[in-house]
């Protein structure tokens, strides 16, 4: 039976199809919002707070307004005329479109200058004068628990997501969410343990650094608003802008072309509310394109402190583990409360521990806001629990791999929340990593000032739940097919993967499928492109929609009484009297989920588990403290890859990104909350000269039975193990243990001096 | 304030009015609708804005447009021959999967062309050093090395 113009009898999933948009990207013609210019468009340049916490005493925009070529200067006063309650956010409605009365972090937007020439707008913005009455500020996440400096007078939970509905408004606190998990009796078991180990770890604040900085454009008519935006969550943008304006959703259109990187930076509302208001106020198209510097003030990754305590018996079996994690969310909650809760599910690590206690706190501080960054909090946790696990093994005189194996969480066993592990190849991933690292073979430990070491670490993640994806698949009268979905291709290759999934069902060549980019007027609802959820959720929705389209075409064929092998063209000719019409398959996919109970326990925490391990070999220069990663091995359970080549690129790319967060990247703040290195000259992301000598990436043979054709998400998996594996290898090489990231040459050198 | 300059853009003679402060990237985008060279870090550190001026790569976000006068300017949009409209370097980038989001890709391709013009058979170490001024946040670096090596082979075979 032939269903389309380009029949394909061979499997479409499992093929390393080059990305469908390849030609566009290598010729510089791919569409990004960065490129968009509309007739009559104004450019907005943001005037930002210079203090970390203060009451706005005076705001003088007259000099800016007087600059030739300035169209208008907008402050929160004008914003409020249009939106009386101009606060947004996915978890809390805490973030003002422009600062109202107070500023809560350095770099917070206070006013905007609009001009048709961006240089004029920038020059004028520099002429705005603001005076602040300073307020007590807090920067450290642990201090924020008890500080007298309160970032928000009153908390305003949003309740947009079902799993955040339990958030209650609180006053006189910086705690935006506290998640607690109790399984068994950790305190009691620790008392009876043979040995108890307690350590404290820290991660630093870092930034996503997409090379296409955040950018949004809005244009309006009397009753419609179109937002062109570099966003990973177009459906959320529509819902939230509709709520702010009090409009029905059908008057707001959100369009997203390709993204020049996302990594979690381009989620929820970033510039969209601001450009929408500016366009409505001026009745002109308005574009705001951030500079690289401004991105550092917009969204970052949580700094964390993690106190972890474990008790073992005489056989080296971990009996109990207590985890206390403090998440530095900055001045606005963004998705921090969700990071706090969801990562809390797995804070004790991929180990079979009978007694666990987790306390995880999302905290407001006077730093730039933090959100999700490639791992939704998991890399911060793995950093701590895999450093801790390694330290325990060494103290106990056990082989680090064997110690992990003895305690590993295996298929069919419940993890911390009580959810039973299914389709999580934890043991296989650990074993394969050890094999690829030649763990059991003799190892050259170096000589003189160059000492060598190796380390291993494994982490896992529960995919965020519950979330919804809808998709539609059209079979046209000529047999060609179109996929409509709101998954955003930010470089992860989703267009290609969705086309492969649809092609597999439709029995056509992947290359013949067209995937329509997110446009809320056209593509159906999707929760967002985040947390490695899209391939699983949207992949399932696309598969089901394609099956629905096939079913509808088969119905049409039987209605026309044509034989089963009649071509698509013939079916439509017979039905409509000409080659016209189409069938539209639709589907939604929402996996099951059980919300955690009062003890944080649930029998269904996630639709699937991601498992990733890294093994490294390092050289440490004992005279300078400089560490060089000579081999980096990443092994993942990615289920059955849809596109092995893209999976490999994702594993490789994520691990190199994590290498930056491990060795060099750190946002440096002074005592007043001023950021001192907001540029790529002073904030070093990995380049060619920072690469490991050798990188090996592998997806173990595995299947996610509930995933589309056995697949699951993989965008974050190889971020998990990199940092602790390197710290473990450094200890192996030179005997010093670092407990704070980044593992800079200076930190290593200083630790060696103290030894 | 504005001054008319003439130069050759991807092989064609052009003229344009430029202001003294306008960068080459701005001139290419605003006057010619060419978006392949794009500003990212704004400091000449990432290579996303790479443009060839008289055959030499420059950071288009720092290079003033007015300096293009009488120069030969090449951008990623200056198409290559062949059925696919792609040259050996572009083909190699596609076949090696040497990009993810694609934002930095034009810069890498232009630098790779320049590298292979100078050194037709670069070692891996030479590739790493030559391209060290271009950043890829998706970190497709291993695949880029593969693509450069493949492009070198393709060029030799032509």
DSSP state string for A692-740: -SEEEEEEPS---TTSGGGB---SSGGGTTHHHHHHHHHHHHHS----B
Per-residue pLDDT, averaged over A90-94, amounts to 93
Structure confidence at residue A224 as a pLDDT band (50, 70, 90): very high
Which residues from chain B sit within 8 angstroms of residue A652, using beta carbons? Answer: 139-140, 142-143
What is the structure's pLDDT at A652?
98
Instruction: Look at residue A170 in the predicted model and tell me its pLDDT.
Output: 75
pLDDT score of A3 more than 50:
no
Q: Which of A347, A357, A208 is nearest to A667 (CA)?
A: A208
At A342-381, the pLDDT tens digits run 899 999 999 999 999 999 999 999 999 999 999 999 999 9
**What per-residue confidence (pLDDT) applies to A162?**
57
Query: Do the strands A300-301 and A370-371 form a parallel or antiparallel pair, or are they unpaired?
Result: parallel
pLDDT for A9 equals 54
The stretch A268-274 carries a mean pLDDT of: 98
Across B48-69, average pLDDT: 97
Average pLDDT, integer, range A83-107: 96
pLDDT at A163: 53
Average pLDDT over residues A51-63: 98
For residue A655, pLDDT over 60 is answered with yes
Residues of chain B found within 8 Å of residue A681, distances taken between Cβ atoms: 43, 45
The sign of the CA dihedral B50, B51, B56, B61 is negative
How close, in Å, is residue B100 to chain A by CA atoms?
A: 4
Q: Minimal CA–CA distance to A734: which of A457, A451, A456, A455? A: A451
3-class DSSP state of A341: helix
CA distance A726 to A627: 9
User: Which pLDDT score, from 0 to 100, does residue A132 have?
Assistant: 98
Interface residue A59 vs chain B (CB under 8 A): no
CB-CB: which of A259, A646, A656 is closest to B101?
Answer: A259
Query: Which pLDDT does position A1 carry in this prediction?
Result: 28
What pLDDT does A5 receive? 40
E strand residue ranges, A42-92? 42-48, 54-60, 70-75, 87-88
Angle at A316 between CA A315 and CA A320, to 5 degrees: 115
Closest CB to B45: pick one of A646, A681, A688.
A681
- Of B40, B77, B138, nearest to A28 by CB-CB distance is B77
Contact status of B37 with chain A (Cβ, < 8 Å): yes
Task: Please write the tens of the pLDDT for every residue from A298-328.
Answer: 999 999 999 999 999 999 999 999 999 999 9
B80 touches chain A (CB under 8 A): no
Kindly state the tokens that stand for A74.
């907008």
Q: Which residue of A has its CA nearest to B30?
A: A37
Residues 6+ apart with CB under 8 A from B60: B23, B24, B25, B28, B37, B39, B49, B50, B51
d(CA A146, CA A159): 26
Interface test with A, best of B35, B46, B95, B102 (most A CBs within 10 A): B102
Mean pLDDT of the region B110-123:
97
User: Does B49 touch chain A if contact means CB atoms closer than 8 Å?
Assistant: no
pLDDT bin (cut points 50, 70, 90) of residue A291 is: very high
Instruction: Answer yes or no: is pLDDT of A601 > 90.
Output: yes
Q: Nearest-CA residue of chain A relative to B109?
A: A26
The reply to whether B27 touches chain A by the CB within 8 Å rule is no
Q: How many CB atoms are located within 10 Å of the residue A478 CB? A: 15
A295 touching B (Cβ < 8 Å):
no
Asked whether the beta carbons of residue A28 and residue B45 sit closer than 8 angstroms, the reply is no
How does the average pLDDT of chain B come out, rounded? Answer: 95
Residues 6 or more apart in contact with residue A535 via CB below 8 angstroms: A494, A497, A642, A707, A708, A711, A712, A713, A714
Res A161: pLDDT: 59
Residue A164's pLDDT is what?
A: 60
| A329 close contact with B: CB closer than 8 A | no
A430-448 confidence digits (pLDDT tens)? 999 999 999 999 999 999 9
Residues of B in contact with A121 (CB under 8 A): none
Mean pLDDT of B103-113: 98
Confidence of residue A171 (pLDDT cuts 50, 70, 90): confident
Chain B interface disruption, residue of A23, A27, A290, most B CBs within 10 A: A27
Catalytic residue among A411, A672, A716, A746: A716
The minimum CA-CA distance between B81 and chain A, rounded to whole Å, is: 13
Q: In the predicted model, is pLDDT for residue B106 greater than 70?
A: yes
Average pLDDT over residues A669-684: 98
Is the pLDDT score of A168 beyond 70?
no
Q: Residues for chain B: how many in total?
A: 158
CA nearest neighbour of A739 among A328, A201, A120: A201
* Listed residue (A327, A273, A332) closest to A298, CA to CA: A332
Report the candidate in A238, A295, B106 with the shortest Cα–Cα distance to residue A229: A238
Per-residue confidence (pLDDT) for residue A4, from 0 to 100 = 35
pLDDT at A140: 98
pLDDT (0 to 100) of residue A2: 31
Residue in A263, A292, A656 nearest the CB of B40:
A292
A626-648 CB burial, b ≥16 within 10 A, e <16: bbebebbbbbbbbbbbbbebbbb
Contact A679 B135 (CB under 8 A): no
Residue A6 contacts by C-beta under 8 Å, 6 or more apart in sequence? A508, A509, A511, A512
Span A26-46, mean pLDDT? 97
Active site residue A31: no
Three state DSSP letters for chain B? CCEEEEEEECCEEEEEEECCCCEHHHHHHHHHCCCCCCCCCCCCCCCCCEEEECCEEEECCCCEHHHHCCCEEECCCCCCCCCCCCCHHHHHHHHHCCCCCCCCHHHHHHHHHHHHHHCCCCCHHHHHHHCCCCCCCCCCHHHHHHHHHHHHHHHHHC
Of A26, A291, A649, the CB nearest to B105: A26
């Amino acid at each position: 039976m032939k269903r389309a113009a380009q029949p394909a009898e061979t499997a479409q999933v499992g093929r390393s199809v080059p990305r469908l948009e390849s030609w566009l990207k290598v010729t510089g013609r791919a569409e990004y919002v960065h490129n968009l210019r509309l007739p009559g468009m104004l450019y907005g340049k943001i005037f930002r707070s210079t203090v970390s916490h203060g009451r706005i005493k005076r705001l003088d925009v007259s000099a800016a307004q007087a600059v030739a070529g300035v169209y208008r200067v907008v402050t929160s006063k004008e914003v409020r005329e249009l939106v009386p309650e101009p606060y947004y956010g996915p978890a809390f409605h805490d973030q003002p479109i422009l600062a109202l009365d107070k500023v809560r972090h350095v770099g917070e937007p206070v006013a905007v200058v609009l001009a048709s020439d961006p240089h004029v707008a920038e020059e004028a913005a520099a002429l705005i004068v603001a005076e602040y009455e300073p307020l007590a500020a807090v920067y450290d996440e642990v201090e924020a628990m008890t500080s007298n400096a309160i970032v928000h007078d009153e908390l305003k939970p949003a309740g947009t997501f079902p799993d955040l509905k339990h958030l209650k408004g609180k006053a006189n606190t910086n705690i935006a969410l506290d998640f607690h998990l109790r399984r068994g009796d950790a305190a009691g078991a620790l008392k009876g343990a043979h040995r108890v180990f307690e350590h404290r770890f820290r991660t630093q604040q870092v930034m996503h650094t997409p090379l296409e900085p955040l950018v949004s454009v809005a244009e309006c008519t009397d009753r419609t608003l179109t937002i062109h935006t570099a966003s990973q969550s177009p459906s959320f943008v529509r819902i939230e802008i509709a709520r702010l304006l009090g409009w029905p959703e059908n008057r707001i259109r959100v369009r997203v072309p390709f993204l020049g990187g996302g990594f979690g930076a381009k989620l929820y509302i970033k510039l969209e509310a601001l450009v929408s208001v500016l366009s409505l106020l001026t009745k002109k198209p308005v574009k705001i394109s951030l500079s690289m510097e401004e991105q550092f003030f917009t969204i970052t990754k949580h700094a964390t402190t993690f106190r972890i305590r474990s008790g073992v018996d005489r056989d080296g079996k971990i009996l109990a583990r207590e985890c206390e994690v403090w998440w530095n969310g900055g001045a606005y909650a963004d998705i921090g409360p969700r990071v706090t809760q969801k990562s809390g599910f797995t804070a004790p690590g991929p180990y079979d521990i009978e007694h666990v206690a987790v306390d995880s706190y999302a905290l407001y501080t006077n730093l730039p806001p933090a959100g999700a960054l490639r791992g939704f909090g998991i890399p911060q946790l793995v950093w701590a629990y895999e450093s801790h696990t390694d330290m325990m093994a060494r103290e106990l005189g056990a082989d680090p791999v064997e110690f992990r194996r003895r305690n590993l969480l295996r298929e069919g066993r419940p993890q911390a929340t009580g959810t039973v592990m299914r389709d999580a190849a934890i043991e296989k991933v650990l074993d394969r990593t050890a094999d690829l690292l030649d763990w059991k073979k003799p190892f050259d430990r170096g000589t003189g000032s160059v000492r060598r070491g190796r380390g291993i670490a494994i982490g896992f993640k529960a995919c965020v739940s519950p979330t919804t994806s809808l998709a539609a698949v059209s079979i046209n009268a000529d047999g060609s097919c179109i996929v409509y979905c709101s998954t955003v291709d930010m470089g992860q290759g989703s267009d290609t993967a969705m086309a492969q999934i649809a092609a597999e069902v439709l029995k056509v060549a992947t290359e013949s499928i067209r995937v329509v980019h997110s446009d809320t007027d056209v593509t159906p609802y999707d929760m967002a492109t985040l947390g490695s959820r899209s391939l699983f959720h949207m992949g399932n929705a696309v598969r089901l929609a394609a099956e629905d389209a096939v079913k509808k075409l088969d119905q049409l064929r039987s209605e026309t009484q044509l034989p089963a092998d009649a071509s698509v063209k013939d079916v439509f000719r017979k039905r409509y009297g000409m080659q016209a019409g189409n069938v539209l398959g639709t589907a939604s996919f929402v996996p099951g989920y059980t919300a955690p109970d009062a003890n944080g326990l649930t029998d269904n925490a996630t639709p699937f588990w991601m498992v990733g391990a890294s093994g490294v070999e390092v050289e440490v220069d004992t005279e300078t403290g400089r560490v060089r990663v000579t081999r980096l091995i990443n092994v993942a359970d990615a289920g059955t890859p849809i596109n092995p080549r893209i999976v490999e690129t994702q594993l490789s790319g994520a691990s190199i990104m994590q290498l930056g967060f491990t060795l060099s990247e750190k946002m440096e703040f002074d005592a007043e909350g001023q950021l001192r290195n907001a540029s790529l000259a002073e904030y070093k992301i990995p380049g060619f000269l920072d690469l490991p000598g050798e990188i090996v990436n592998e997806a173990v043979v595995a299947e996610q039975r509930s995933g589309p054709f056995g697949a699951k998400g993989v965008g974050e998996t190889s971020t998990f193990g990199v940092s602790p594996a390197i710290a473990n290898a450094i200890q192996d090489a030179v005997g010093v243990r670092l407990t704070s990231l980044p593992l800079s040459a200076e930190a290593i050198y200083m630790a060696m001096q103290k030894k | 304030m504005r001054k008319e300059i003439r130069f050759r853009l991807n092989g064609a003679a052009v003229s344009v009015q430029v202001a003294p402060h306008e960068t080459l990237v701005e001139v290419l985008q605003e006057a010619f609708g060419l978006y392949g060279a794009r500003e990212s870090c704004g400091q000449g550190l990432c290579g996303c804005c790479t443009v060839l001026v008289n055959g030499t790569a420059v950071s288009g976000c720092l290079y003033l447009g007015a300096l293009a006068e009488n120069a030969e300017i090449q951008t990623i949009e200056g198409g290559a021959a062949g059925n696919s409209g792609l040259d050996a370097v572009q083909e190699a980038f596609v076949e090696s999967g040497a990009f993810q989001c694609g934002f930095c890709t034009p810069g890498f391709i232009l630098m790779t062309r320049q590298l292979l013009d100078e050194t037709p058979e670069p070692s891996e170490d030479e590739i790493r050093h030559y391209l060290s001024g271009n950043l890829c946040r998706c970190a497709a670096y291993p695949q880029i090395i593969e693509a450069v090596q493949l492009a070198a082979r393709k060029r030799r075979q032509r």
